Amino acid sequence: MFIRAYLRASTADQDANRARESLEQFIAGHGHKIAASYVENASGATAERSELRRLLADAKQGDILLLESIDRLSRLPRKEWTKLRAEIEGRDLRVVALDLPTSHKALAESDGDDFTTQMLDAVNGMMLDMLAAIARKDYEQRRERQAQGIANAKNRGVYKGRPVDQEKHDKIRQLLAKGCSVRETARLAGAAPSTVQRVKQEAG
């Protein structure tokens, strides 16, 4: 059983590796190990994500696509989600997510009962679609609230844009000054490599 973990964070300042430990513990509890990991900082509202594309290109029949939650895979509109799901199924990938208990059965050895397997796959597919729809709705509501908040702040003349995490940026500069690589600095500072690159460029 080849397990491919997909870890995603929405923005460059978030740590996409945050869920790695919980995924590793979950898989170990089922007697398996993660064979490959795909980590990126990208919006779940688009299917064109470089690491997700690489995972799908690498995937072989029967592989497991492991997620912390379905919203890490998709916050896509319905038509785009349907297309992505068809692509996953076309590669015969089994989706397993910590927040989708019906998917955990895919980690157990098959007992040869095709009827039971088909029924579980059908239930899992319905739950997968439902959670993907909830994830999209949550995304749309958060975007709407954010837009309303920005509009209200602008009307009051107090909108200043997204604040910089000065403490994190100071730590990044200190680590870079010590000679740490971009990747090592990102890990130690709990930041995305792109954030480290930006701080490095700003420092000249």
Q: Residue 13's pLDDT is what? A: 66
108 shares a domain with 194: no
173 shares a domain with 117: no
Q: Residue 135's pLDDT is what? A: 87
Tokens at 172, concatenated: 């990044």
132 shares a domain with 61: yes
Please tell me the least confidently modeled range out of 32-46, 147-161, 169-183: 147-161
Residue 9 forms beta bridges with which residues?
A: 41
176 shares a domain with 105: no
Share of the chain above pLDDT 90, in %: 41
172 shares a domain with 133: no
Identify the CATH number of the domain in which residue 92 sits.
3.40.50.1390
The residue with greater pLDDT, 119 or 18, is 18
101 shares a domain with 45: yes
Please state, as a whole number, how many other Cβ atoms lie within 10 Å of the Cβ of residue 148.
10
Tokens at 70, concatenated: 């379905």
Per residue in 79-120, pLDDT (tens digit) is: 999 999 999 999 999 999 999 998 998 888 655 567 666 777
Q: Residue 88's pLDDT is what? A: 94
Whether the per-residue pLDDT at 158 is higher than 70: the answer is no
Q: Residue 157's pLDDT is what? A: 73
Please tell me the least confidently modeled range out of 47-56, 163-172, 173-182: 163-172
What domain range includes position 180?
166-203
Looking at the domain assignment, is residue 147 inside a domain?
no
Kindly indicate the confidence band of residue 186, based on its pLDDT and cuts at 50, 70 and 90.
confident
Q: Which of the residues 10, 37, 43, 194 is marked catalytic?
A: 10
Q: How far apart are CA 175 and CA 169, in angstroms?
A: 10
Q: Residue 60's pLDDT is what? A: 95
Q: What is the pLDDT of the chain when averaged over all its residues?
A: 87
Looking at the domain assignment, is residue 51 inside a domain?
yes
Q: How far apart are CA 21 and CA 31, in angstroms?
A: 15
Q: Is 10 a catalytic residue?
A: yes
How many structural domains compose the chain?
2
Per residue in 56-81, pLDDT (tens digit) is: 999 999 899 999 999 999 999 999 99
171 shares a domain with 124: no
